[in-house]
Amino acid sequence: MAVYFLVKGKQKTEGKIIINGAKNSAVALLPAALLTEETVKIDNLPQITDIDKLLNIIRLLGASVSSPGDHSLSINGANVNSFSPSGLLVNQLRASYYLMGSLLGRFGRVEIPMPGGCDLGPRPIDQHIKGFSAMGAKVEMDHGLMKVFAKELRGAHIYLDLVSVGATINIMLAAVKAEGKTIIENAAREPEIVDVANFLNAMGAQVRGAGTDVIKIKGVKKLHAVEYSVIPDRIEAGTFMIAAAATGGDLVVEGVIPKHLEPVTAKLKEVGVEVETGPDYLRVVGREKISPCDVKTFPYPGFPTDLQPHMVVLLTKAPGISLVTENVFERRFCHIDELRKMGAQITLEGRTAIIEGGSELSSASLKAMDLRGGAAFIIAALMANGETVINDVKYIDRGYERIEERFQEVGVSVQRIEEK
Ligand code: UD1
């Protein structure tokens, strides 16, 4: 069955939107829940397909998972009896790599194929492995299956060669129940890392320094039950902020932690968009005309790579030249070719997109190729003349909860069409 979005152009996002829980935090909290035999309740979980897939993997490992209520569910990992997650499912999402840290932490053993996920260029996991090895684990590759095992995981001093969200969290998961102290230097500082550390600490772990580039973890014998609420999704929030800026709308993005969105707020102000910051909301008032600007993606607190495609779309509206440089992923520019179909004047030089903005986008038939790029196409379609079709919405559904309904809430027409 073909499923696509049909988006009416020349529409403004207006009103108010309440932001869901953070995907990139939630996908780490579920595997982390397996570190205890007691029941863990997680609230404010986004209802996205990456979470559905992860829950299926966790169920197959033997955990019992309550049927999801309104954005909350309980997991009990007492009966987890396998350290070998289903290869077929693991291949479908990147975040399945967190099962390495959690199963290694729980059983001292995990067998798992390389994780899947969006194609953003090479996505090695050497830093995860470096961390596990430093803690005394042996790592072997056997016909595409990675086998990691340790008689006893011991705390270690680990210096990451590069800043990696996944490696930082994975090492934390392996270390919370290891013998002795682990220090992660050059750790990533993303808010989702702080959220995972808070979750683990609420279960009785001793993690200090999350949110800085040195994280210290003192291993404990046992973790216990917890009820925990996921932080708001700064990328979903940023998506709607940029949509308001791009469509000249007036939108209140509510239920956010404004500090997490400072890099986005700063760029929107730089191009001339008005952003009002409240205690838990951001109001974005777009303008007909905006100025060009340069954007460079970096690990937090730099401008997030996950909002790079959206920013490229916004800057097609700014008369003049804007440069967008992607420093985090090597090949995160597959949205550019599709945007060219809409008449966007963009050339690529290495890791930099050169955008000659100012001319109107026209409708086209597009194909989503990754999660964030796909969402950015919705913004482009709202700016364009005419009706745009976005195919392969399965990529968008991985990380945005019913995005078409969310856009409808803010007054624009994005329809999901299911063709038999
Ligand atoms: C996570 C996020 C993703 C976000 C990215 C950067 C999740 C599930 N995904 O992905 O949405 O875009 O952070 O903010 O949270 N690298 C290595 N070796 C490693 C690990 C990473 O070379 O062992 C490289 C990667 O290829 C990439 C860079 O380091 O170029 C950053 O990757 P990393 O922060 O690990 O991203 P992910 O955890 O995959």
Whole-number Å distance between alpha carbons of 249 and 266: 18
Our answer on whether the CB atom of 95 is closer than 6 Å to any ligand 1 atom is yes
Q: What is the pLDDT of residues 252-277, one digit of tens each?
A: 999 999 999 999 999 999 999 999 99
409: CA distance to ligand 1 center in Å?
A: 32
Our answer on whether the CB atom of 96 is closer than 6 Å to any ligand 1 atom is no
Q: Tokens 């067998």 correspond to what residue?
A: 111
Q: Which of 24, 119, 123, 326 to mutate to test the pocket of ligand 1 (most atoms within 8 A of CB)?
A: 123
Average pLDDT for 215-243: 98
Our answer on whether the CB atom of 191 is closer than 6 Å to any ligand 1 atom is no
pTM score, whole prediction = 0.97
Residue 413's φ and ψ, nearest 5 degrees, are -100, 105
Our answer on whether the CB atom of 28 is closer than 6 Å to any ligand 1 atom is no
Q: Mind giving me the DSSP string for 128-140?
A: HHHHHHHTT-EEE
- Cα–Cα distance list, 206 to 141, 197, 365 (Å): 32, 9, 51
Whole-number Å distance between alpha carbons of 71 and 45: 5
- What pLDDT is attached to residue 32? 98
> In which band, very low, low, confident or very high, does the pLDDT at 113 lie, cut at 50, 70 and 90?
confident
C-beta separation of 275 from 265 below 8 A: yes
Residue nearest ligand 1's atom 39 by CA: 166
Burial of residue 321 (number of CB atoms within 10 Å: 0-12, 13-18, 19+): middle
H or E element that contains 228: strand 226-229
Q: Which residue from 344, 348, 347 is spatially nearest to 357, judged by alpha carbons?
A: 344
Domains along the chain? 2-20+232-419 (3.65.10.10), 23-229 (3.65.10.10)
- What pLDDT is attached to residue 35? 98
Q: Which of 22-31, 109-118, 190-199, 334-343 has the lowest mean pLDDT?
A: 109-118
- What pLDDT is attached to residue 155? 97
Is pLDDT at 83 greater than 70 in this prediction? Answer: yes
> In which band, very low, low, confident or very high, does the pLDDT at 121 lie, cut at 50, 70 and 90?
low
Half-sphere exposure of 345 (CA within 13 A, CB side): 12
318: CA distance to ligand 1 center in Å?
A: 30
Tokens of 232: 């708001």
Is pLDDT at 78 greater than 90 in this prediction? Answer: yes
E strand map for 232-335: 250-254, 274-277, 281-285, 295-296, 320-325
> In which band, very low, low, confident or very high, does the pLDDT at 122 lie, cut at 50, 70 and 90?
low
pLDDT above 90: percentage of residues in the chain: 89
- What pLDDT is attached to residue 48? 96
Whole-number Å distance between alpha carbons of 75 and 302: 34
C-beta separation of 217 from 205 below 8 A: yes
Residue 227 vs residue 87, higher pLDDT:
227
Please calculate the CA angle 145-154-218 and round it to the nearest 5 degrees: 120
- What pLDDT is attached to residue 330? 85
H or E element that contains 106: helix 98-107
Our answer on whether the CB atom of 52 is closer than 6 Å to any ligand 1 atom is no
Average pLDDT for 89-113: 92
> In which band, very low, low, confident or very high, does the pLDDT at 117 lie, cut at 50, 70 and 90?
low
Task: Please state, rounded to an integer, the average pLDDT across all residues of the chain.
Answer: 95
Burial of residue 162 (number of CB atoms within 10 Å: 0-12, 13-18, 19+): exposed
Q: Where are the alpha helices (DSSP H) in 10-92?
A: 23-32, 49-60, 87-90
39: CA distance to ligand 1 center in Å?
A: 30
Residue nearest ligand 1's atom 30 by CA: 329
Tokens of 398: 């991985």
Tokens of 358: 């100012």
H or E element that contains 5: strand 2-8
Our answer on whether the CB atom of 182 is closer than 6 Å to any ligand 1 atom is no
| Single-letter amino acid code for the residue at 350 | G
Whole-number Å distance between alpha carbons of 298 and 416: 33
Burial of residue 420 (number of CB atoms within 10 Å: 0-12, 13-18, 19+): exposed
Q: Which ligand 1 atom is at minimum distance from the Cα of 125?
A: 23
C-beta separation of 185 from 213 below 8 A: yes
Active-site residue (options: 45, 75, 112, 118): 118
| Single-letter amino acid code for the residue at 200 | L
Whole-number Å distance between alpha carbons of 33 and 147: 22
Q: Which ligand 1 atom is at minimum distance from the Cα of 98?
A: 8
Tokens of 267: 């760029």
122: CA distance to ligand 1 center in Å?
A: 10
Kindly give the pairing relationship between strand 2-8 and strand 206-208: unpaired
Q: What is the pLDDT of residues 365-397, one digit of tens each?
A: 999 999 999 999 999 999 999 999 999 999 999
- What pLDDT is attached to residue 400? 98
Which residues have a Cβ under 8 Å from the Cβ of 347 and sit 6 or more positions away?
A: 353, 354
276: CA distance to ligand 1 center in Å?
A: 31
164: CA distance to ligand 1 center in Å?
A: 5
Q: What is the pLDDT of residues 28-63, one digit of tens each?
A: 999 999 999 999 999 999 999 999 999 999 999 999
- What pLDDT is attached to residue 87? 78
Residue nearest ligand 1's atom 1 by CA: 165
Q: Which of 148, 164, 298 to mutate to test the pocket of ligand 1 (most atoms within 8 A of CB)?
A: 164
118 is catalytic: yes
| Single-letter amino acid code for the residue at 30 | L
184: CA distance to ligand 1 center in Å?
A: 16
Whole-number Å distance between alpha carbons of 148 and 98: 13
